[in-house]
Chains A and B, each alone.
Chain A
Amino acid sequence: MKQIVIDITEDGEVKIETRGFTGKSCVEESRFLKELLGKELARQLTTAYYQVDGKTCVKKHLPLCG
């Protein structure tokens, strides 16, 4: 299930976590919250961010020279 989890501490710190999204849709889906609440200080991407339709995309860089 797709969920957005927002933790708000007693000192006003906000952390947003998207769950169940694949690919970049998580960023789009949670954008409105960031615009509502203020400035994004830090973002940590997880494995699911790099998945398309449930499959992980792995980019391999081949050494072509040397």
Chain B
Amino acid sequence: MSHVSKIELEINDLETLEAACASLGLQFVRNQKTYTWYGEYMGDTPLPEGFSADDLGKCDHAVRVPGAAYEVGVVRKDGKYFLLWDFWRDGGLERALGPGAGKLKQAYAIERVKREARLKGYRVQQAKSVKGIRLVLSM
């Protein structure tokens, strides 16, 4: 073993996000400019960093989740994509995507690594681990 790094995930590739949605059975809708949410910011939770209450409900693309009343907004900002969504219980998103939409972020990271690693000639093995998914890249 040589070193261990912890990474803060950033979403920067739309095609990979689209593929990640497909892998989870979600519908990615390009150029949908609004997403369904409660419709009014109640001030009871912090806003996502870099966003104001006026930004809520607006997006560049959206993700529809089967069985959920609300949608996830995908917003492009500073060359990256941010996920905006309302986690209110009745909206159904947290139930489907986990806290912080973690399952969607996980699927994105898996897809991103697999695609790029194969392009670079790595052999990729995927297995379930105690805390999630483990990918092993070897030459």
Residues of chain A touching chain B, judged by Cβ–Cβ distance below 8 Å, are 1-22, 25-27, 30, 32-34, 36-46, 48-49
Contact = CB atoms under 8 A, between A and B. Distances in A.
A34 B98 CA distance: 24
Contact of B3 (A6, A8, A27, A38): A27
Contacts of B99: 11
Nearest to A17: B4
Contacts of A27: 2-3
Nearest to B138: A3
Contacts of A9: 102, 106, 131-132
B83 to A, nearest CB: 10
B70 to A, nearest CB: 19
Given A14-B9, A37-B7, 10 more contacts: A5-B136, A9-B131, A12-B105, A13-B6, A14-B109, A15-B5, A20-B2, A21-B2, A42-B6, A46-B3
Contact of B116 (A15, A18, A36): A36
A6 B137 contact: yes
Interface of B: 1-10, 12, 98-106, 108-110, 112-113, 116-117, 120, 122, 129, 131-139
State the 8 A-B residue pairs at the shortest beta-carbon distance, nearest first: A12-B105, A26-B2, A38-B10, A11-B102, A9-B132, A14-B7, A21-B2, A4-B137
Contact of A3 (B98, B113, B116, B137): B137
B129 A7 contact: yes
Nearest to A42: B6
A27 B27 CA distance: 37
Contacts of B4: 15-18, 43-44, 46
Nearest to B108: A12
A6 B113 contact: yes
